[in-house]
């Protein structure tokens, strides 16, 4: 699928410019697209696949913030790119992923030149800000069982499948918990009929 279809809300002249100046890059599942401390010189738009944005502390612990889908942009890359600052997050390809990199130079020009770009950037900020609020809600007010449930639901929504192909260990890392805790909670949820456990995958039965 091409840029026009993914970003239909952008005006034609802008899409033209994006096609001319944007650099297309592809990443394989598991590839790190951006890592903590790296200098950001481009804004990233997702064309295909799925990207995980997470926070990592000094000891290597990870904490999932949100997923980016095709048609979305990485708010952090916009923020950092506009200041040429280092990012404080990690972006990982969850599937084979194609992105469009827009050199920061165009940000300013397009912002005043194309109303649709301005709205797109604002909407990106708004939606990511709200996602962060939900993340904070979860981690501040909810227990691990609720957070796990939320995580599974979000994962099925993002991948449009009720099968979550992850090991307990991987889930534990994204929630900054430990494998045993996740296994325990998943087992309880299975006993309550909420899901079915398989090796390397979880089948969600409720929606």
Partner DNA sequence: AGTGTATTGTGACTTTGGTTACAGACTGCC
Partner DNA sequence: GGCAGTCTGTAACCAAAGTCACAATACACT
Interface ranges with a second copy (CB under 8 A): 55, 57, 61, 63, 65, 75-76, 79, 82-83, 88-89, 111-112, 115, 118, 122, 125-126, 128-130, 132-133, 135-137, 139-141, 176
Cα dihedral 200, 65, 143, 165 in deg (nearest 10): -10
Short-list 29, 110, 30, CA closest to 73: 110
Instruction: Return the residue of 169, 192, 205, 206 that touches DNA, per CB under 7 A.
Output: 169
89 touches which of a second copy, DNA, none (CB within 5 to 8 A by kind)? Answer: a second copy
**Gap between the Cα atoms of 66 and 113, Å rounded:** 30
Nearest approach, Cβ of residue 136 and DNA (Å):
15
Nearest approach, Cβ of residue 66 and a second copy (Å):
11
In the numeric block, the tokens 């469009």 are attached to 100
Instruction: Return the residue of 6, 52, 155, 168 that touches DNA, per CB under 7 A.
Output: 168
In the numeric block, the tokens 């599942």 are attached to 29
- In what helix (H) or strand (E) does residue 130 lie, and over which residues does it extend? helix 115-141
């Amino acid at each position: 699928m091409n840029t026009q279809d993914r970003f239909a809300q952008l005006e034609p002249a802008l899409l033209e410019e994006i096609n001319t100046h944007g650099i297309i890059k592809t990443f394989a599942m598991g590839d790190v697209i951006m890592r903590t401390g790296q200098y950001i010189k481009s804004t990233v738009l997702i064309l295909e696949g799925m990207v995980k944005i997470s926070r990592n502390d000094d000891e290597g612990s990870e904490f999932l913030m949100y997923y980016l889908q095709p048609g979305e942009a990485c708010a952090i890359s916009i923020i950092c790119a506009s200041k040429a600052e280092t990012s404080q997050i990690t972006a990982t390809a969850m599937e084979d992923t194609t992105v469009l990199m827009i050199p920061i130079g165009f940000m300013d020009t397009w912002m005043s030149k194309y109303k649709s770009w301005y709205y797109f950037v604002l909407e990106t900020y708004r939606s990511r800000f709200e996602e962060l609020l939900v993340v904070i809600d979860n981690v501040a007010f909810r227990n691990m069982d609720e957070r796990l449930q939320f995580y599974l639901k979000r994962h099925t929504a993002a991948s449009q499948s009720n099968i979550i192909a992850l090991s307990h260990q991987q889930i534990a890392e994204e929630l900054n918990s430990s494998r045993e805790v996740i296994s325990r909670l998943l087992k309880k949820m299975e006993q309550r009929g909420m899901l079915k456990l398989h090796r390397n995958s979880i089948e969600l039965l409720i929606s």
